[in-house]
Structure 1
Amino acid sequence: MGEEAGRWVRVPVGVEAGRWAARGRCRRVLLVVHNVTSATRLLDVLPLFRDDLRVQVLATCTGSSPFQAGVAEVLAATGVPVLPWEQAVATPVDLAISASYGGQLDAIQGKLVVLSHGAGYNKKLTTPDTGHRTPDTGHRAAGVFGLGPDWVLSDGVPVADAMVFSHPEQIDRLAEACPEALPTAVLAGDPCYDRILAARHHRDRYRRALGVHPGQRLVLLNSTWNPTGLFGDAGPEDVLPLLLPRLTSELPADEYRVAAVLHPNIWHGHGPGQIRLWLDRARRAGLTLVDPIDGWRQALIAADLVLGDFGSVSYYAAALGTPVLLGAADLEGLGDTSPVAAFVRTAPRLDPYGALLPQLEKLLAGHRPLPGPAEATTSAPGRSAALLRGLFHRLIGIPEPPGPALLDPLPLPPYEPPLRTAPLRVLTRTTADGAIAVQRFADPRHEPRGEEAESHLAVHEDTLDPGALELADVILRYGAADDPRLGPPYAWAAEVLARHPGASLAAYVTGPRECRVLHRDGLRVCLTAEGDGDAAAYASALHAHLAAHPYPRGTLTVRTGAGLQRVTVRTEHTDRAGRPDR
């Protein structure tokens, strides 16, 4: 006990806290964290205590979840005092808020509110043992997590003073599963979903943050944490090894952008480094891993299609009206009457052995939003902040502060365009209207086919296998034009062409509209498009044009899928008879 007490927080709580704390008369609100997933839902409601000088927020972790990695970092980022669990249960508080039933919540000295940490209560999980009360170490028959008596009662009495639900159908299922807890049920909306709804008007910004260009579609790969989820290997089929290489090799790079949102328990359970190792080839081919805490909602808003499973993120996507294709559909892991189970029964399924592109195009062309997810996610859209702040302050026993209750807006994510260092097989052809159609495929397992198309290989200078550079027709680089490490763009290009005599063209991409190109015979060209895109595609269009026309036109029209760009070709220097100079 002496060693444990040595780790206890002394300010603003503790035996002598009144002597040291500047504001020692505050009401205490304790955030009870189970793992990173539950922590994210508590972070949603933390701003409801902003500007309230009467409240001191504290945090603790039950330590009961196997998924402990990342918890300390998330708690530290809140900047509030973090109590060891032993101190937390020994410290009287005015209100405790949890987003899970894990741990010995009945030991907390104070009023307790329990929120959902997903889109309602849907998944079956084995009920808790008496020592840990955690879904991750249970031993009895599986029921719907958070609804049955083994979850919500302790010695026949409700663990929580208030159980927060987002829709009346959840309360109906609680009444059936555990009528003793019904008096604690409160309808207060879904703060996570409300933050998504409030940010939908920023969709174009979120797409630009991910480097999605006009005419390009964003496919979002999503998996819940369960072993039978899309990322898991315990389902009827291990879909992931079949799917990953095809996401980037079968989908034309300029027509489809691919990103992945993985459940925090996958991310922190296996370790971010291991996730990056598993997805290395896909990442080099253009897949972006989205931050599972701060970035997943923005990516969900930005997505044109979600390739997911039976988890909450895929269900939120359906609620937004986004097409969802299920790569895993474990109905046995869901409550029979839950809304997510109803969705999974009717949602279209991925054929892991069929060609991927036709499946996506068919889904996009024939999509009609299902009414169920949008209706069942929340019965109080946009109102959770007001409802929850009112609930919290009633339980604390103080009036609400003046002014509206507001959740934080979603932050603008960092700019993360795809960096494809895997070799690109490029198909080009001249269309009837004189445009040059370009299709690029990242590291394809099989040679892509294109009607009457010419083919060449474009390779990033930093490709993993240096041997690919010896086969390249076009060598690429992305960077600022004034990067002192690389030197001026044409100097870099001359150096690269001298080192790789098989390449005929080197392209230095300085932005989404511009690149500088050096041809082996000395032609220097600056390509500038009217709109955003991947300017490396314009370099491939120029490569195809120069194969048929010794001197470039002043303007090229480049078609990538449904997108059409007018690209200005400005010749900066021509020495067609000489070697490239600096």
Structure 2
Amino acid sequence: MDTWATGDGRRATGDGRQATRRSVLFAARSAVALHRLLDVLPVFEGDDRVERYFTLVPGSEFGVGALAAVGRAGGRTIPWDEARGRAFDLVVAASPKGELSELHGPLVLLPHGAGYGKTLPGEGSGGAPSGLDRAYLTSRGRPVAALHALAHPSQVDRLAVESRAAATVTTVTGDPTLERILESAVLRPKFRAALGTGGRRLVVITSTWGPESLLRRRPSLPAELLAGLPYDAYQLALVAHPNEHSERGALQFREPLRPALDAGLVLAEPHEEWASVLVAADVVISDHGSTALYAAALDRPVIAAYDGGRELIPGSPTAELLAGSPRFAGPDSVGAALAGHRPGAARARTGLAFAHQHEALARLRASVYPLLGLDPPAWPAVPRLLPVPARPAGGPGAFAVRTRISGTEVRVERFPDRVGPDGHFLAAESGSAGRRHEETAGLLYRRSPGEPAPHAEGRSAERWLLDTLADHPACQTAGIILSPELCLLASRSGPPLAARIEQSRQDGTAYLPDPAAVLCGLHAWRPAPPPEFTCVTGGRANRVRLAPATPAELARTVWAGP
């Protein structure tokens, strides 16, 4: 069907009908601003009357990440020079900074983060909340935006202190990003399974950007926590501000973290995945970044790790949250915060940050469609669920192991050898650890792959156990994990044994430990472990029964595999 321009922003069809079209430009100057814009796409979802464009607002040192994020989302981008030379029916931005005045169309400003609790010394008016600064929100005494959407009425009051003129164009919609997080909270078990968390507690470090951020002030914190929190009790993840990824580049950002990454640190991607990891978290260690407020809205206990400075605004929701949270004082703070957490306590501290929860997209749609001169779609605006986080690649190949035997109970604590403290012995996984670890490990074990690879070669389990002991003089115990409940092991004295691990149950939940931790407990009992004992890992106890390995078990083929 032929169409032609009508001159008033609409297009006419060849049969005389008018097909209304509206152009919406999403203008971002950084990756974090672009991520906020992507969270509001459901406002226009399914509406073919709306044409969506993206452009990069120049002037930010963090702009490279924004372009990459647009590319991943499949957005249609137009160069800045083209964008400022065209007229749009609506311009949507999540940051008031940059030359937005050069764009043509009514401007809608969205929340850039939660709580507006941070000021950037030397920028704007000085002391004003970043995102609510009159230096960027007014021009010649008039508001630059046609509509400024905020998350809570208190933010309107705060803006009025900065500029009464800017406050006149505000509306309180709620926070679209929080709405997406809350909508996805039911996926928590799925997210934890994808991360391989299991029965462990997921500890998430959140760091904002800039000189007062947690990572800038304590760059070794991830490694220190991995060295102080037993591997079978805790998993550690890091959520860093997108500006940190953009400013340093992926390589430079990751390299200082390499010891922690090799030791099992989960590094969340800055777009979407950070929120998925937050949903999966059990406890959050945070500086003064706004991510702490999202964690508290999920009712996760927050541990304050901000050492003070000029950036945190006194009396802001973030400041109040941190003031009412336990202070970080080393790895022991984690267990204390979890034990002291009371349901609802963290969420209650976000009362002045988020209003209209579960209504943000609907309220935003009702506010922007009149600016487009269109009736909103009949279907509801539904938040898009967060993606399932990627499973971490690999994991520690070697552990420093501490054990304590009492009666028929052995307690096992494993720490990644890359960062961990000294242990009673070294346990290494064949095929994952390097030569140095394989040659010095007292316990050397492997996991049997489920399916042989094409053209695979294999050995019997008995042959692998005996060859491993013969080829590694330092190795005193060799083990094979055949399933989550069955291991085979051999030492330099006595016949090969089969260890059967029983499930433990608590409050209707079944739990099986990592069989490698059980092999560590068996190695601690050499040369003569009892036929039945309790292995305690990560605070949970599992019964283990030993018996001589049967000929059928020893004949099992162990395939070479990844």
Q: The TM-score by the shorter chain falls in which range?
A: 0.7 to 0.9
Whole-Å Cα distance in 2 between the matches of residues 481 and 370 of structure 1?
43
Partner of 1:82, secondary structure, is coil
Residues 110 and 493 of structure 1: CA distance in aligned 2, closer, same or farther (over 3 Å): farther
Q: 1:383 aligns with which of 333, 336, 359?
A: 359
| Residues 121 and 310, structure 2, Cα contact 8 Å, conserved in 1 | no
Which of 459, 462, 469 in structure 1 is aligned with 2:428?
459
2:416 corresponds to: 442
Aligned mate of 2:219, from 215, 223, 240: 240
Distance in 1, matches of 2:427 and 2:211, equals 38
Q: How does 1:21-170 map to 2 (within 5 A)?
A: 26-125=21-120, 138=123, 141-170=126-155
Distance 2:114 2:558 in 1: 61
**8 Å contact kept, 1:120–1:165:** no
Q: Distance in 1 between matches of 2:254 and 2:480?
A: 27
| Structure 1 residue 329, shift from structure 2 partner | 3.8
2:339 to 365, 382, 405: 365
Q: Secondary structure at the match of 1:306?
A: strand
Quick check: 2:458–2:558 contact (8 Å CA) kept in 1?
A: no
| 1:529 CA drift (Å) | 5.2
Per-residue CA deviations over 1:475-512 (Å, capped at 9, x if unaligned) read: 24456233438844736655544432211333445665
AA in 2 matched with 1:501: P
Q: Distance in 2 between matches of 1:511 and 1:226?
A: 47
TM-score when scaled to structure 2?
0.86
Matched, 1:419 2:395: yes
1:541 aligned partner = 521
Contact 1:331/1:344, CA 8 A, preserved across alignment: no
The superposition leaves residues 511-569 of structure 1 with CA deviations (integer Å, 9 ceiling, x where unpaired) of 655655454566264655533432211221232345223xx73x653211321234565
Separation in structure 1 between the aligned mates of residue 140 and residue 446 of structure 2, nearest angstrom: 66
Summarize deviations over 1:301-334 as a string: whole Å, max 9, x none: 2212111100011222123222222222435202
Aligned partners of 2:400 and 2:415 also within 8 Å: yes
Find the residue that maps to 1:231 and give its secondary structure: helix
- Are residues 390 and 359 of structure 1, via their aligned partners in 2, closer, same or farther at CA, if it must alter by over 3 Å? same
Amino acid at match of 2:441: A
Contact 1:213 1:532 in 2 (8 A): no
Per the alignment, residue 299 of structure 2 pairs with 321
Q: Does 1:269 align with 2:244?
A: no
**What is the CA-CA distance between 1:466 and the residue it aligns to?**
3.0
SS of residue paired to 2:148: strand
CA shift, 1:168, in A, is: 0.5
> 2:313 — aligned with what?
335
Query: Residue 247 of structure 1: CA displacement?
Result: 0.9
Q: Choose from 229, 238, 242 the match for 2:213.
A: 229
The 3 A distance-change label for structure 1 pair 59 and 445 is closer
- Name 2:477's counterpart in structure 1: 505
The structure 1 residue matched to 2:235, chosen from 257, 260, 271, is 257
Give the structure 1 partner of residue 506 of structure 2. none
Tell me the distance in 2 between the aligned counterparts of 1:386 and 1:311. 27
Distance change (3 Å), C-alpha of 1:201 and 1:272: same
In 2, Cα distance between equivalents of 1:260 and 1:111: 38
Judging changes above 3 Å, is the alpha-carbon distance between structure 1 residues 330 and 34 closer, same or farther for their aligned structure 2 residues? farther
Alignment size in residue pairs: 532
**C-alpha separation between the residues in 2 aligned to 1:473 and 1:139?**
60
> Equivalents in 2 of 1:157, 1:350: separation in Å?
44
1:66 Cα deviation (Å)? 0.3
- Listed one character per residue, the Cα deviations across residues 356-411 of structure 1 (whole Å, up to 9, x for unaligned) are 34322222222342465331231101001111111221111100111111110112
Amino acid at match of 1:533: P
Q: 1:278 to 1:193 in 2, by over 3 A?
A: same
Report the CA distance shift for 1:436/1:339 in structure 2 as closer, same or farther (over 3 A): same
CA contact 2:26–2:53 (8 Å) conserved in 1: yes
Question: 1:3 aligns to what?
Answer: none
Question: Quick one: distance in 1 between partners of 2:465 and 2:257?
Answer: 31
Asked if the contact 1:316–1:373 (Cα under 8 Å) also holds between the matched residues in 2, the reply is no
- CA–CA distance in structure 2, aligned partners of residues 569 and 488 of structure 1: 26
Residue in 2 that maps onto 1:187: 172
CA contact (8 A) 2:194 2:391 kept: yes
Counterpart residue number, 1:452? none
C-alpha change, 1:181 and 1:546, in structure 2 (3 Å) is same
Q: Is the 8 A contact 1:210 1:418 kept in 2?
A: no
The TM-score normalised by the length of structure 1 is 0.83
Give the Cα separation in 1 of the matches to 2:208 and 2:514.
32
Letter in 1 for 2:341: H
- Determine helix, strand or coil for the equivalent of 1:401: coil
Provide the residue aligned with 1:172 in structure 2: 157
Taking the aligned partners of 1:92 and 1:284, their CA distance within structure 2 comes to 50
Counterpart-to-counterpart distance in 1, 2:485 and 2:441: 23
- Give yes or no for contact 1:331–1:341 (8 Å, CA) kept in 2: no
Unaligned 5+ segments in structure 1 are 1-11, 128-137, 233-237, 449-454
- 1:92: how far off? 1.1
Match of 2:508 in 1: none
Q: Which amino acid aligns with 2:521?
A: A
Instruction: Please give the alpha-carbon distance, in whole angstroms, between the structure 2 residues aligned to 1:30 and 1:144.
Output: 26
1:395 is matched by which residue type in structure 2?
L
- What is the CA deviation profile of residues 15-44 of structure 1, one whole-angstrom value per residue up to 9, with x for unaligned ones? xx989xxx9962111111111111111111
532, 539, 542: which one aligns with 1:562: 539
Shift of 1:224: 0.5
The separation in 2 between residues aligned to 1:25 and 1:161, in whole angstroms, is: 22
* Partners of 2:47 and 2:377 within 8 A in 1: yes
Match of 1:197 in 2: 182
Is the 8 Å Cα contact of residues 319 and 377 (structure 1) preserved in structure 2?
no
Against the structure 1 CA distance between its residues 259 and 478, is the aligned structure 2 distance closer, same or farther, given a 3 Å change threshold? farther
**Which segment is superposed worse, 407-416 or 261-270?**
407-416
Give 3-state SS (helix, strand or coil) of 1:163's partner. Answer: strand
For the residue of structure 1 that corresponds to 2:108, the secondary structure is strand
Instruction: Identify the residue that residue 15 of structure 2 maps to in structure 1.
Output: none
Separation in 2 of the partners of 1:563 and 1:34? 49
Partner SS for 1:376: coil
Give the aligned partner of residue 496 of structure 2.
Answer: 523
Distance in 1 (CA, whole Å) between partners of 2:376 and 2:266 is 42
Q: Which amino acid aligns with 1:156?
A: G
Confirm or deny: 8 A CA contact 1:34 1:64 kept in the other structure.
yes
In structure 1, distance between residues paired with 2:541 and 2:427: 21
Letter in 2 for 1:429: R
**Distance (whole Å) between structure 2 residues aligned to residue 557 and residue 145 of structure 1:** 55
Gaps of 5+ in 2: 13-17, 504-510
**Is the Cα contact below 8 Å between 1:18 and 1:24 reproduced in 2?**
yes
Q: 1:570 to 1:76 in 2, by over 3 A?
A: farther
> How far is 1:171 from its partner?
0.4
How many Å apart are 1:273 and its aligned residue?
A: 1.8
RMSD after superposition: 3.2
